[in-house]
Amino acid sequence: MDYLKAQSVKSLQGTIDISGAKNASLPLIAMTILANNVVNITNLPQVADIKTLLKLLTNLGATVSFDNGAAIVNTTTLHETKATYDIVKTMRASILVLGPILARFGHCEVSLPGGCAIGQRPIDLHLKALEQMGAHIEIKAGYIEATAPEGLKGCNIIFDKITVTGTANIIMAAALAHGKTVITNAAREPEVVQLCEVLLNSGIPIEGIGTAILTIKGSGGKLINIKEFSIIPDRIEAGTYLCAGAITKSEITLTNVEPKHLGAVLAKLEEMGSRFTTTDTTITIHPSQDIKPVKIVTQEYPAFPTDMQAQFLALATQANGVSIIEERLFENRFMHVSELQRMGADITLNGHTATVNGKTDLSGTDVMATDLRASSALVLAALVSSGETNIHRIYHLDRGYDSLEKKLKGVGAKIERLKE
Ligand code: EPZ
């Protein structure tokens, strides 16, 4: 297995090019199941999760080519409707094929994704909404067995909680349903917005894009001619590198980024003392030499994203004062805390709230990644720790960050990928 060896640097400088968003790519790849044509996708990130979902599509009978961020996906040859445990267990976002397969074939079997490191990750809201659309769903031997022999019918769905992939699943199911679906309490993440925009551009009437109430007029079972599209920039990757600039007090510029997707993140970094110069596609961070403490509560978009919580917790160890970080979405998303404490961070956990006393000098040691965003928090801490830090189990990192160590080396970080 690979690990990363990193050590502190005086400062970083230069530009980092942001890749396409993993969390936009996954639903959009699943959406190709609805296509009657070969679909061209560009600006896909070269990360493990994308390769996993493309492999799942080939297991279902699609033919896929994926090279240098561009994919050509031909699902006209799809003939299987079972997403098996071996693939789904490696990536729970495979649940995104449930809606599309059911809408296209009238039946499907998808392995229950199970929980993951950060929490139980239930999918009850996905299943309840599909049942409302006329699906019959049974759980048998760890599989979701869903049937809708007459196809799905449009209806009014009200999500009890805001769910990103739940909203995406139902948007895709509604795109092929008979009649109109109204989704209330829909997720408004930019990744959900792009899914709606691509479907709209491919002829599916969708109203309310970007709001909590979506109205989708289904095609009545007809497959869709999906126009080619390019994945939006990854706002979480971008936020992670902005934290790298803030924690090392370095001025760096991000290119191919969408500043308007980072409102809450930029606001919190400004509260901590950073300033920014932005254009339509770039962000330059002008970091503070005196990092201020911060209060953060993670919530759904456009509020502060849970996927940036771990990175800000690492940054807060370098703030002068007490920061309070509350995680409201997932029940176990503080596993980076114990590793940061081993590096010398002064953090107290009380239920869903972390209190971070800064500034503490961190020292490098062997640490273990536990989940995708926790891994990036450990990398950020390593950039300001004395001595060397070895970050193990970075397969977590490789799920969602495209060439992280190359991008950081490109701005002067001392970081190497080595074999255990
Ligand atoms: C998406 O996960 C993202 N993954 C996650 O990013 C992100 O952290 C999360 O949204 C929240 O923004 C992808 O887009 C592939 P949810 P998702 O359904 O859709 C509860 C990363 O690091 N819930 O919005 O699985 C759930 O338990 C990953 O890139 C139910 O109770 O998250 C959670 O408390 C990690 N029942 C809350 O809703 C359901 O049926 C939000 O979950 C579904 C969700």
pLDDT of residue 55: 96
pLDDT of residue 54: 97
Cα–Cα distances in Å, from 185 out to 134, 304, 305?
20, 18, 17
Q: With a cut of 80, say whether residue 115 has pLDDT above it.
A: no
pLDDT of residue 120: 80
Cβ-based neighbour number of residue 419 at 10 Å = 6
* Contacts with 67 (C-beta within 8 Å, 6 or more apart), sequence order: none
Q: With a cut of 90, say whether residue 286 has pLDDT above it.
A: yes
Contact 212, 186 (CB under 8 A): yes
Atom of ligand 1 nearest to the CA of 301: 12
Q: How many residues are listed for the chain in this entry?
A: 420
Please provide residue 244's backbone torsions phi and psi, each rounded to the nearest 5 degrees. Answer: -65, -40
pLDDT of residue 113: 84
Q: With a cut of 80, say whether residue 94 has pLDDT above it.
A: yes
Cβ-based neighbour number of residue 367 at 10 Å = 27
**363-372: average pLDDT:** 95
- For residue 166, what pLDDT band results from cuts at 50, 70 and 90? very high
Which among 19, 23, 52, 116 is the best mutation to test ligand 1's pocket, defined by most ligand atoms within 8 Å of the CB? 23
Q: Any catalytic annotation for residue 108?
A: no
Which among 123, 161, 371, 399 is the best mutation to test ligand 1's pocket, defined by most ligand atoms within 8 Å of the CB? 161
**What does pLDDT average to over the chain?**
97
β-pairing verdict for 321-326 and 353-358:
antiparallel
Q: pTM of the prediction?
A: 0.97
Strand extents, DSSP E, 159-304? 180-184, 206-207, 213-217, 229-230, 252-255, 275-278, 282-286, 295-297
Q: With a cut of 80, say whether residue 114 has pLDDT above it.
A: no
What is the rounded radius of gyration, in angstroms, for the C-alpha atoms of the chain? 21
Contact 302, 266 (CB under 8 A): no
Name which residue sits closest to atom 31 of ligand 1, judged by CA.
122
User: Which residue in 108, 116, 155, 243 is the catalytic one?
Assistant: 116
Atom of ligand 1 nearest to the CA of 371: 22
Residues with CB under 6 A from ligand 1: 23, 26, 93, 119, 121-126, 161, 163-166, 306-307, 329-330, 372-373, 400
Instruction: Kindly give the distance from the C-alpha atom of residue 305 to the centroid of ligand 1, in angstroms, as a whole number.
Output: 11
Instruction: Kindly give the distance from the C-alpha atom of residue 122 to the centroid of ligand 1, in angstroms, as a whole number.
Output: 9
DSSP labels, 14-67: EEEE--B-HHHHHHHHHHGGGBSSEEEEES----HHHHHHHHHHHHTT-EEEEE
Which among 31, 50, 144, 164 is the best mutation to test ligand 1's pocket, defined by most ligand atoms within 8 Å of the CB? 164
- For residue 401, what pLDDT band results from cuts at 50, 70 and 90? very high
- For residue 117, what pLDDT band results from cuts at 50, 70 and 90? confident
Instruction: Kindly give the distance from the C-alpha atom of residue 287 to the centroid of ligand 1, in angstroms, as a whole number.
Output: 31
Query: For 29-79, how does the pLDDT look when each residue is reduced to its tens digit (9 = 90+)?
Result: 999 999 999 999 999 999 999 999 999 999 999 999 999 999 999 999 999
pLDDT of residue 161: 97
